[in-house]
Amino acid sequence: MLLGALNAFTVWSVPILISNKSWFFAIYFVISTLVLDFIFLSKRRIATKYIVPGVILLLLFQVYPAFFTGYVAFTNYSNGHFLDKETAIEVMVSNSFAPTGDEPIYMQVARENTTQKISLIVQDPRGYGVGTRDGFSIIPSSDLTLTSDGKIEKIVGYSILTDDEVFSILEEFNDFKIPIGNDRFYSVSDINAVELVAQNLSYDPNKDQVTDLLTGTIYTPNDNGSMVSEAGEEIEPGWTTTVGWRNFSKVINDERYRQPLLQVLAWTFIYAGLVVLTTFFLGLILALVLNHPRMKSRKIYRTLLIVPYAMPSVLSTLVWAGMFNQDNGVINKMLGASIPWLSDPWLSKFAVLLVQLWAGTPYMFLIATGAIQSLSTEVVEAAQVDGASPRQVFSKIKLPLVLMTLAPLLIASYAYNFSNFGAIYLLTGGGPTIISSGGIAGHTDILISYTYKIAFAAGKGNDYGLASAVSFFNFILVASISIYSFKKSRTIENMT
Amino acid sequence: MNTEDILKQKPLTPSQWGRKIAWRHVVGVAAVSFALFPLIWMISAAFDTLGSLSSQKLIPDRPGWDNFHELFTNPDQPYLKWLRNSLIISSTNAVLQMFIGATAAYALSRFRFKGRKLTLMTILVVQMFPQLLAATAIFLMLAELGKSIPALALGQTTALIIVFAGGALGINAWMLKGFYDTIPSEIDESAKVDGASHAQIYFRIILPLARPVLAVITLLSFIGTMNEFLITSVILGGNQNSITLAVGMQQFIDGQYNARWGPFAAGALIASVPVMILFLYLQKHVVSGLTAGANKG
C-alpha cells in the first residue's frame, strides 16, 4: 500500500518536475520508484528491502547536497543571480514595461462563446476592438449593440461579464498584455479600463542581446551572468551561471576575503583544540577526584555534574549569552563591573571557551570515569608492588592507558567542536566583527558560522556560491579528521 | 583482595578523613556550583515578577507566575506553537531515524549479500560529509524542489523531517549493526527453523531484544533535533508559524535581551526540565552507549 502511494506520488510529481525543468529530481524519483517497486514486488532480495529505502533518502539528502555544494562553489548563485537565464531575461523584459502616461481607456471583459477564452473589448481610438494575449483586432460596428451611455450591451460571438464575475477571475489579469504593435501593449489597470504601456527592453535570441528601445543601448551577457552595456551598466536580475574558479580565487587572492578566512580558519582549529583539551582535563580531574571509594556521595555528585549535558544546549547557550550581557548580565553584576564579555575580541573568545567548558566537561567526566573504572587493577598493583609512587602510577600508567582508550572519542569530539555551529552563533553570533572583513567575519567565527553568515545572515546579501566554496574547505578538513579517526580506531578492519 | 578493599575495612579517623576526603568534597561542591549556576539563575529569573535582568536577585523579591503568563499570551512570540512544532518534529524524526537505522542495521548484520561491504563503506564515507556543512546546498535544493512539490518547499515541516530522515543511515546504522552483532545468531536461526519469516524475526525477536539501545538512540535523536539550529533555521526560518523552539527562542531575545529576559527564562525552563528529567532518568543507558565506542578501539 505504501508502495502504491509512492507510485502515485511519483506519477503526480514527475510531470511537474519536468515542467519546471528539474531534470535531476525527475530522473531520481523515477529511478528510485522503479528500484523500490522491483525490490518489494520480488520475493527474493530480502536484505535490500531493509536497506534500500534508507539509502535512497541518504543519497538524495546527504550525498547529493555534498556534491551540489561542490557544484554551487563554481557558480555565482547569489542574490540577483537566482534564476536560470531564460527566466531572468523574461523578468528583465517584463519589468521594463512602463505606462506611457496616456489616459486610461474604457474596456469590458467578455468571454468568447465557443472557446470560453477571456477577451477584452476595448474602445480603441480606431473603434471597438477585441484583445487577447495573442493580439488585437477591430470588430465591425454591426456586431455591437450599445446602451445609451456608450457601453456594450451585446456583441456577436461573445458574452459580456458582470463586475462580480470579473472580480472572481481577477488573477487572470496578472500580466495580461494585449500586443497592439510597435512594442505597445494594453495592460489592465482597472476592472473596466486598460492603459497603454510600452516595452523598453527587447531581447533578441539570435544575437543573444538586450536592446533598450528608448535609448538604443545594447546590453550583452558577461561571464558573470548579467546583461551589461558597454558603459558597464547592468540590468537586474542576473542569472545563475558557472564562473569557474572565481569563488576560490576570491578567497585565496582577494585580500578582503583571504585575511578574514585565514583568521577564521586558525580560530576554528585553535577553538576546537582548546575545547577538547580544557574539557578533557577538567573532566579527567573531576573523575579522579570524585571516584574515591570512601566517598559516599559519588552518585549525587555524578548526577548533579551531568546536568549541563542534559540541558538542551541551544537554551543553555542562550542563557549564558544573557548572563554575559554587558549592562545587565549577572556575571558583571556579581563582579560589580562592566566588562564587554561578548564585544571584545579576546574576552569573547574566552567567553566562548568558558561556556564550552561548562557544556562539554560532563561528557568528558563520564567517559573518563568509565575509562578509569575499566582500568585493570592488576597493572596498577603490579606497579605499586614494584615501588612506584602514586604520582608515577598516575602519569606512567593510568594516564597513558586512559588516553589510549579514549583517543577515538577525543578525536570525535574534536570533529564535533570543529563544526559546533550553535556554540558560537547563539552566544556571540560570531562577533565582534573583524573590521577588515567588510562586516561579515567575526573574531569568534568558526568556518561553519562564517559560511552561514555569507549565505544567509550577514545582512550583506546572500552569496551562496562563495559560501559553498568556503564549505568545500570545511568538508575537506572535516573529512580529513574523520579519516584520521577511522584509522586510529581501526573501524574499517572491524568491518565483518 | 586489593588495596581498596583493605581500606574499606578500617573506618577513617576524623583527621584521616580531613586529609584524604574533605578536599575532594571541596572540589566536588565547586564543580557542582559551576555546573548548576546557569540553571539556578534561569529558575530564579523565571519566577522573578520584575522580569528584567537588571533587577534580578538570586531569590526574587516578589516571586510569581507573571513571566509564564506573559510567555503564553503574547502573540508576538507564539511559544506554545513553537513548542508544539518542536515536539512534532523531534518525535517524528526520532522515530523515523531510529527505524531507518535499525532496519538497515538488521540487514547489514544478519544477511550476507552482494554489495554489503560497499554499503557499509559508503555509509562510513558519507559520515565524513555531514549535512550540516551542506546547509547552503540543501537550501538551494529545496528552493528548487519546492517549486514542484509544495510539501518539500522551504518553510514546510515535512521538508525538514524528510531532510533529517536522509541523514539517519549515516548516524545510526553502524552503531546499531555493532549492537546486533552481539545478539547471538542462533536465536534467529532457531526461529527460522520453526518457520518464522525474516520480517517476523526482525519485528518479534530482534527489535524487542534491542529495545534498550533503541530507546537511547531515539532519546538522543529527539534531543539532537530539539537542539538543531542551523539546518532548521535555514529550512524553516522564513515561516514564523512552523519554526521550532530553538529557532524561536533565539529570535525571541535577539537584540532586546533585557526586556524579555523573564519570559525567556520561563520558556527555557519549561522546555528544558522534561528533557533533563528524561535524560537523568535514562543516564545509565546513555552513559553505556557513550562509552561503547571507547571499548571497541
Q: What is the ipTM of this complex?
A: 0.86
Residue A409 near chain B (CB below 8 Å)? yes
- Asked if the Cβ–Cβ distance from B295 to A405 is below 8 Å, we say yes
Rounded Cα–Cα distance for residues A136 and A119 (Å): 10
Check residues A277 and A113 and name the one with the higher pLDDT. Answer: A277
* CA separation for the pair A405, A397 (Å, rounded): 12
Picking from A61, A325, A408, the nearest residue to B257 by CB comes out as A325
Partner-chain residue, chosen from B123, B140, B249, that has the shortest CB–CB distance to A315:
B249
Instruction: Residue A426: list chain B partners with CB under 8 A.
Output: 229, 250
Nearest to B297 among A290, A377, A407 (CB): A407
The alpha carbon of residue B81 is apart from the nearest alpha carbon of chain A, in Å, by: 17
Q: Once rounded to an integer, what is the mean pLDDT over residues A85-99?
A: 80
Tell me what the mean pLDDT of segment A35-56 comes to.
84
Phi/psi of residue A263, nearest 5 degrees = -65, -45
Number of Cβ within 10 Å of residue A170's Cβ equals: 10
| Distances, alpha carbon B42 to alpha carbons A237, A325, A483, B271, in Å | 48, 14, 41, 12
The answer to whether the Cβ–Cβ distance between A54 and B27 falls below 8 Å is: no
- Residue A202's beta-bridge partner residues? A211
Mutation target vs A (from B17, B42, B120, B133; most A CBs, 10 A cutoff):
B133
Q: What are phi and psi of A193, to 5 degrees?
A: -150, 150
Give me the phi and psi of B76, to 5 degrees please: -65, -25
What's the CATH code, domain B78-254? 1.10.3720.10
Q: With an 8 Å Cβ cutoff, are B124 and A492 in contact? A: yes
Q: Are B106 and A50 in contact, with CB atoms under 8 Å apart?
A: yes
C-alpha cell at A470: 568556503
- Low-confidence residues in chain B, pLDDT < 70: 1-12, 50-58, 61, 254-259, 287-297
Q: Where are the alpha helices (DSSP H) in A153-254?
A: 163-168, 246-253
pLDDT score, position B295: 37
Residues 411 through 470 of chain A touching chain B, CB cutoff 8 Å:
412, 419, 421-422, 425-426, 448, 451-452, 455-456, 464, 467-468
pLDDT, tens digit, for every residue of A218-268? 888 888 888 888 887 888 788 888 888 888 888 888 888 888 889 999 999
Set of cell numbers at residue B23: 578536599
Q: Which of B32, B148, B271 sits opposite A312 (nearest CB)?
A: B271
Which pLDDT tens digit goes with each residue over A343-395? 899 999 999 999 999 999 999 998 888 888 887 778 878 888 888 888 888 88
Write down the pLDDT at residue A386.
85
DSSP category for residue B115: T
Asked if A484 is an interface residue toward chain B (Cβ–Cβ < 8 A), one would say: no
Q: Cβ distance A237 to A91 under 8 Å?
A: yes
Every domain of chain A with CATH number 1.10.3720.10 lies at 254-489
Q: Measure CB to CB from residue B294 to each of A312, A408, A486 and give the nearest one.
A: A408
Q: Scanning every residue of chain B, which has its alpha carbon at the shortest distance from the alpha carbon of A415?
A: B128
Q: Do B128 and A320 touch (CB under 8 A)?
A: no
Counting other chains too, the contacts that A164-168 makes at CB distance below 8 Å and 24 or more residues apart are A165/A109, A166/A109, A166/A191, A166/A192, A167/A191
pLDDT computed for residue B52 by the predictor: 54
- Write phi, then psi, for A179 (nearest 5 degrees): -70, 130
Task: List for chain A the helix, strand, coil content (%; round to 5).
Answer: 55, 15, 30
A290·B103 Cβ contact <8 A = no
* Per-residue pLDDT at A284 exceeds 90: yes
CA–CA separation, A272 and A412 (whole Å): 11
Query: What is the number of CB-based contacts under 8 A between chain A and chain B?
Result: 320
Q: From the CA of A259, how many Å to the nearest CA of chain B?
A: 22
Asked whether B163 and B197 are in contact (CB, 8 A), the reply is no
The answer to whether A297 contacts B28, with C-beta atoms less than 8 Å apart, is: yes
CB contact under 8 A, A307 and B39: yes
Q: Which residues in chain A touch residue B165, judged by CB atoms under 8 angstroms apart?
A: 57, 61
pLDDT for position A409 = 83
List chain A residues with CB under 8 Å of B108.
51
A115–chain B Cβ distance below 8 A for any pair: no
Residues 13-52, chain A, touching B (beta carbon < 8 A)? 13, 16-17, 19-20, 22, 25, 46-51
Q: Tell me which residue in A307, A318, A482 faces B249 most closely, judged by beta carbons.
A: A318
Q: Which of A54, A77, A452 lies closest to B230 in CB terms?
A: A452
Rounded Cα distance between A76 and B163, Å, is 25
**Gap from B183 CA to chain A (nearest CA, Å):** 15
Chain A segment 232-291 residues within 8 A of B by beta carbon are 285-286, 289-290
Q: How far apart are CA A207 and CA B206, in angstroms?
A: 67
> Which residues in chain A are contacts of B295 at CB distance < 8 A?
374, 405
pLDDT over 90 percentage in chain A: 13
pLDDT attached to residue B93: 92
Domain boundaries, chain B: 14-70, 78-254
Distance from CA of A350 to the nearest CA of B (A): 16
Confirm or reject contact between A147 and chain B (CB < 8 A). no
Q: Which residues of A touch B101 (CB under 8 A)?
A: 54
Q: What torsion do the CA atoms of B99, B101, B103, B108 make, to the nearest 10 degrees?
A: -170
For B112, the closest chain A residue by CA position comes to: A47
Residue A459's pLDDT is what? 63
Smallest CA–CA separation between B51 and chain A, in Å? 12
Nearest CA in chain B to A457: B234
CB contact under 8 A, B139 and A407: no
**Architecture label for domain A254-489:** Orthogonal Bundle (1.10)
User: Which residue in B127, B131, B246 is closest to A65 by CB distance?
Assistant: B131
Q: B116-126 and B79-110 are packed helices; what angle lies between their axes, rounded to 10 degrees? A: 150
For residue B71, report the phi and psi dihedrals to the nearest 5 degrees.
Answer: -60, -40
Considering only the beta carbons, identify the residue of A62, A319, A371 that sits closest to B129.
A62
Q: In whole angstroms, what is the distance from residue A92 CA to residue A200 CA? A: 10
pLDDT confidence of residue B235: 92
Query: Could you tell me which residues are beta bridge partners of residue A65?
Result: none
By Cβ distance, the residue of A285, A294, A370 closest to B20 is A294
CA A119 – CA A132 distance, rounded (Å) = 5
Residues of A in contact with B276 (CB under 8 A): 307, 310-311
Q: Is A7 exposed, middle or buried (0-12, 13-18, 19+ CB in 10 A)?
A: middle
Q: Which of residues 285-324 of A touch B (CB under 8 A)?
A: 285-286, 289-290, 292-295, 297, 301, 303-316, 318-323
> How open is the CA angle A393-A394-A399, to the nearest 5 degrees?
125
Q: With contacts defined as CB-CB under 8 Å, which chain A residues touch B229?
A: 314, 421-422, 425-426
